[in-house]
């Protein structure tokens, strides 16, 4: 597991209370009574002039052990001193926070600078929220569990924002209908930035499940790693969403026990007017579908319109470790009705089946309706093997097939946030300058300071201002000071 805590601590967001709002100070680590967190929030709930601020007395550190959940019914900003300083612990007997107004319009609640751990409930082990907006920043949610959905967070009918949040080792049931080991979200807008979702477990969507035709989602600068789903969507299940953008992120080492979606299972809404999905500047590496007939070790896509550009699929594996699977294979599997997938400047390398180390099928395609067939278009992309026959049944332009991209091992390679890995390209890679930039991306996966469309004038095969295939731009991290190049 890649260390991220120190990097994410820099993401702490603070804000001042508005005029008319009140400030309440936590001065005790007790579960209840004067100065406790429970008492401060109860006073805020009873006071008008929201949003209120709950802050912690300087120097207060330790664990608040809860005997029952704390309810938040007003717009409120709870600012902890730091996730490494104050922990709220449910002792595996109670949920930690319920966000639910009693009257009026939806409230907005913000929580930051705390660790929320060992919450236990039917849904939402740490936080349960319904029809009230929730913002989490510089927060750690760990070792929470449920009997149904949302190991750490269960939320619906509102807007959810995570910024600089660590969601680790939470769980929902793995052998029944439990969904969203870390996060379960329906009906609203979910924005996840600069976060780390790892080691969570569920039946569907080990790391998270976002599911509803009324979901609009953004996942950016986020690492989703080492999550497990007993059925599908090891890293995540994102189902029937109206719009989705995944950018500058990585799905690494996630697994599913059944047929598909080791890294991500994606179902896109086909309703008129829905925006579809875009995945860009993102890496899928070392994910696995472990079932004997496993497909889509990295990503399965069905229905709607999806564009995948400037991304890398590498070292993903289908099937169990003891046998070559009998299924279709494919790091990327396209299925469903009237599905349109467009691959642009995307790289597939060293994806395998079973115990074999020989590269297997990178792309497979099952069109389930002859009346409304699915379409796969591919442009300026690289495949280690030949795609399954008929997998590309739309445009095929300027692609490289049966070609080794010469990837370097997964590593940070100087990434701006310091915890999202990528596969670098060797200087002799055929992916160099063979790509395109249809989304007009200004950086590669690593973000600011790592420009796209950079070419080395000292290499003969590099044309001016051309883009490399995949999530990484060779030489994009060169910085010039005056007339001197800094390496």
Distance CA 196, CA 35 (A): 32
Poorest-pLDDT segment among 157-166, 173-182, 472-481: 472-481
Write the CB contacts of 9 (distance below 8 Å, at least 6 apart in sequence): 82, 83, 84, 138, 164
E strand segments, 164-214: 166-168, 183-193, 196-198, 201-204, 208-211
Between 91-105, 174-188, 233-247, 280-294, the lowest mean confidence (pLDDT) is in: 280-294
Does position 237 have pLDDT exceeding 60, yes or no?
A: yes
pLDDT-derived band at 142, boundaries 50, 70, 90: very high
pLDDT at 375 over 60: yes
DSSP 107: P
Look at residue 227 and tell me whether its pLDDT is greater than 90: yes
Q: Which pLDDT band, with edges at 50, 70 and 90, does 213 fall under?
A: confident
State the pLDDT confidence band at 272, using cuts at 50, 70 and 90.
confident
Question: 11 pLDDT band (50/70/90 cuts)?
Answer: very low
Please check whether residue 98 is in contact with residue 71, taking contact to mean a CB–CB distance below 8 angstroms: yes
Q: Which residue has the higher pLDDT, 105 or 115?
A: 115
Average pLDDT of span 72-97:
98
Q: Average the pLDDT over each of 6-20, 256-270, 291-305, 434-448 and give the range with the smallest value.
A: 6-20
> Alpha carbon 224 to chain centroid distance?
5
Mean pLDDT of the 211-226 span: 95
Q: What is the pLDDT of residue 484?
A: 31
- Is the alpha carbon torsion for 322, 327, 328, 332 positive or negative? negative
Q: pLDDT of 389-398, one tens digit each?
A: 888 999 999 9
Among 225, 198, 264, residue whose Cα is nearest residue 410: 225
Cross-strand bridge partners of residue 484: 481
- Torsion angle defined by CA atoms of residues 96, 99, 103 and 105, in that order, rounded to the nearest 10 degrees: 170
Q: What is the mean pLDDT of residues 220-240?
A: 96
Measured distance CA(243)–CA(222) in Å, rounded? 18
Q: How confident is the model at residue 374 (pLDDT cuts 50, 70, 90)?
A: confident
| Residue-wise pLDDT tens digits, 407-423 | 999 999 887 678 899 99
Q: Is 48 in contact with 74 (CB distance < 8 Å)?
A: no
pLDDT of residue 72: 98
Kindly list the distances between the CA atom of residue 322 and the CA atoms of 55, 232, 253, 354, 356, in Å, as whole numbers in the listed order. Answer: 54, 20, 18, 7, 10
Q: Cα torsion for 346, 349, 352, 356, to the nearest 10°?
A: 170
Residue 361 C-alpha from the chain's centroid: 25
* pLDDT of amino acid 483: 29
Q: Give the pLDDT confidence score for residue 453 in this predicted structure.
A: 82
Mean pLDDT is lowest, of 248-252, 313-317, 368-372, for: 368-372
In the chain, the largest separation of any two C-alpha atoms, in whole Å, equals 73
Mean pLDDT within 271-290: 94
pLDDT at 268 over 80: yes
What contacts 194, CB < 8 A, 6 or more positions away?
A: 8, 11, 163, 164, 220, 221, 222, 417
> Beta strands of 20-164 (E only): which ranges?
23-26, 52-56, 62-65, 70-72, 76-79, 86-89, 97-99, 108-112, 115-117, 120-123, 127-130, 133-137, 140-142, 145-149, 153-163
Whether 305 contacts 276, CB under 8 Å: yes
Rg of the chain taking only CA atoms, in angstroms: 23
pLDDT of residue 327: 44
State the average pLDDT over residues 90-118.
96
* Residue 442 CB neighbours (<10 A): 12
Considering only CA atoms, which of 209, 208, 281, 278 is closest in space to residue 245? Answer: 278
What mean pLDDT is reported for the chain? 89
Contact between 11 and 163 under an 8 Å Cβ cutoff? The reply is yes
Question: Residue 278's pLDDT is what?
Answer: 98
User: What pLDDT is stored for residue 325 in this prediction?
Assistant: 45
For residues 133-147, give the mean pLDDT.
99
Question: Given this model, what pLDDT does residue 481 score?
Answer: 30
367: confidence class by pLDDT, cuts 50, 70, 90: low
Per cent of the chain over pLDDT 70 is 86
Residue 324 has pLDDT above 70, yes or no: no
Say which residue, 403 or 175, is predicted with more confidence.
403
Query: Residue 349 pLDDT > 80, yes or no?
Result: yes
For 335, the enclosing helix (H) or strand (E) is strand 332-335
What is the average per-residue pLDDT within 142-166?
A: 98
The neighbouring-strand residues paired with 376 are 341
The CA-atom distances, in angstroms, between 345 and each of 264, 349, 470 are 20, 13, 6
Q: HSE on the CB side for 393, CA within 13 Å? A: 16
User: Would residue 370 be called left, alpha or beta, if left means φ above 0 and alpha means ψ between -120 and 50 degrees?
Assistant: alpha
Question: Which stretch of 332-341, 373-382, 458-467 has the lowest confidence by average pLDDT?
Answer: 458-467
The secondary structure of 221-288 as a DSSP string is S-EEES-EEEEE-SSEEEEEESEEEEES-EEES-EESSSS-SSEEEEE--STT--EEEEES-EEES-E
């Amino acid at each position: 597991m890649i260390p991220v805590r120190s990097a994410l601590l820099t993401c702490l967001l603070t804000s001042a209370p508005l005029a008319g709002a009140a400030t309440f100070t936590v001065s005790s680590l007790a579960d209840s009574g004067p100065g406790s967190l429970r008492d401060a929030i109860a006073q805020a709930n009873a006071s008008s002039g929201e949003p209120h601020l709950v802050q912690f007395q300087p120097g207060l550190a330790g664990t608040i052990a809860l005997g029952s959940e704390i309810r938040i019914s007003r717009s409120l900003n709870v600012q902890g001193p730091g996730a490494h300083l104050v922990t709220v612990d449910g002792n595996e007997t109670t949920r930690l926070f319920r966000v639910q107004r009693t009257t009026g319009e939806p409230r907005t609640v913000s929580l930051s600078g705390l660790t929320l751990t060992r919450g236990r409930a039917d849904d939402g082990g740490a936080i349960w929220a319904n029809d009230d907006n929730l913002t989490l920043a510089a927060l750690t949610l760990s070792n929470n569990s449920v009997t149904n959905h949302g190991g750490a967070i269960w939320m619906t009918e509102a807007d959810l924002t995570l910024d600089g949040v660590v969601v680790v080792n939470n769980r929902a049931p793995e052998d029944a209908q439990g969904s969203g080991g870390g996060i379960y979200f329906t009906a609203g807008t979910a924005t996840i930035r600069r976060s780390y979702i790892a080691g969570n477990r569920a039946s569907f969507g080990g790391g998270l499940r976002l599911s509803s035709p009324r979901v609009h989602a953004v996942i950016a600068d986020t690492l989703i790693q080492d999550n497990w789903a007993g059925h599908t969507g090891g890293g995540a299940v994102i189902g029937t969403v109206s719009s989705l953008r995944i950018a500058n992120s990585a799905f690494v080492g996630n697994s599913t026990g059944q047929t598909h979606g080791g890294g991500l299972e994606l179902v896109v809404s086909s309703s008129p007017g829905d925006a579809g999905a875009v995945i860009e500047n993102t890496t899928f590496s070392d994910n696995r579908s472990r079932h004997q007939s496993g497909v889509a070790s990295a990503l399965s896509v069905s229905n709607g319109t999806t564009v995948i550009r400037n991304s890398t699929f590498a070292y993903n594996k289908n099937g169990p470790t003891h046998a070559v699977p009998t299924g279709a294979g494919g790091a990327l599997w396209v299925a469903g009705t009237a599905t349109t997938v467009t691959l642009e400047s995307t790289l597939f390398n060293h994806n395998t089946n079973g115990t074999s180390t020989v590269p297997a099928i990178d792309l497979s395609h099952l069109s389930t309706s002859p009346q409304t067939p699915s379409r796969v278009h591919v442009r300026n992309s690289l495949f280690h093997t030949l795609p399954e026959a008929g997998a590309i049944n739309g445009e095929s332009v300027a692609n490289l097939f049966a070609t080794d991209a010469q990837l370097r091992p997964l590593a940070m390679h100087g990434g701006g946030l310091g915890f999202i890995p990528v596969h670098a390209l060797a200087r002799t890679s055929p992916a160099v300058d063979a790509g395109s930039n249809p989304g007009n991306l200004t950086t590669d996966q690593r973000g600011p300071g790592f420009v796209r469309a950079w070419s080395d004038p000292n290499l003969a095969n590099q044309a001016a201002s051309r883009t490399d295939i995949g999530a990484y731009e060779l030489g994009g991290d060169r910085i010039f000071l005056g007339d001197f190049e800094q390496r």
